[in-house]
Structures are given as structure tokens and as C-alpha cells.
């Protein structure tokens, strides 16, 4: 089974919990699958418009890869973190 891509989109001023909460949920699902002898069902990717460190409102930065070409998002799940930076 090919893992389902999960794209977590962050931007300067995102809310830390809005990015790390979903990341942890999918990571825990992967752990549970491994514990059951199954392959991990999700591939978690932290992305941003500009790759590199992206600062949250909490002052904690996350490392993000470049946002993929829109064609790569077909069949994937895109989670957009909330926050004041969305404006």
C-alpha cells in the first residue's frame, strides 16, 4: 500500500498547535499501524511557499520543504495551519 501524502502547509505567523497537532495525529496513526505489523498509511510533509525555517506565533520555527507542484496534491490531504499570518 502506498502511503497517503499529507501536506501540512505553514506560513510566517501560523499557530504552532495547528501544524503540530495534525502532524502528531497522523504520526500516531503510523505508529499504531506499525505496531499492528502494517505499513505506515501516511507520509507526512511540512511545506511552505518558501522552504526553510518558518516562524510560528509562539516563537518556535518549523523546518518546511517547498510547496509541491499542484499536480502532486492530487489524491493527497492538504492541512493549512491557522493563524494571523494567513492574512
- pLDDT tens by residue, 3-58: 999 999 999 999 999 999 999 999 999 999 999 999 999 999 999 999 999 999 99
Order across the sheet with 42-48: list the strands: 52-55, 61-66, 42-48, 4-9, 77-80
Measuring CA to CA, which residue among 22, 21, 24, 18 is closest to residue 85?
18
Q: What dotted CATH number matches 4-86?
A: 3.40.50.880
Cβ atoms within 10 Å of 53's Cβ, excluding its own: 12
pLDDT at 42: 97
DSSP state of 85: G
Q: What is the pLDDT of residues 49-86, one digit of tens each?
A: 999 999 999 999 999 999 998 888 888 899 999 887 56
Task: Report pLDDT for 47.
Answer: 97
How confident is the model at residue 85, as a pLDDT? 59
Amino acid at each position: 500500500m502506498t502511503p497517503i501524502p499529507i501536506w501540512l502547509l505553514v506560513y510566517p505567523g501560523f499557530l504552532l498547535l495547528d501544524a503540530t497537532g495534525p502532524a502528531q495525529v497522523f504520526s500516531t496513526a503510523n505508529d499504531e499501524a506499525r505496531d499492528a505489523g502494517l505499513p505506515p498509511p501516511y507520509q507526512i510533509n511540512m511545506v511552505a511557499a518558501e522552504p526553510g525555517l518558518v516562524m510560528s506565533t509562539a516563537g518556535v520555527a518549523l523546518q518546511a520543504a517547498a510547496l509541491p507542484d499542484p499536480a502532486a496534491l492530487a489524491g493527497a490531504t492538504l492541512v493549512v495551519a491557522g493563524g494571523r499570518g494567513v492574512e
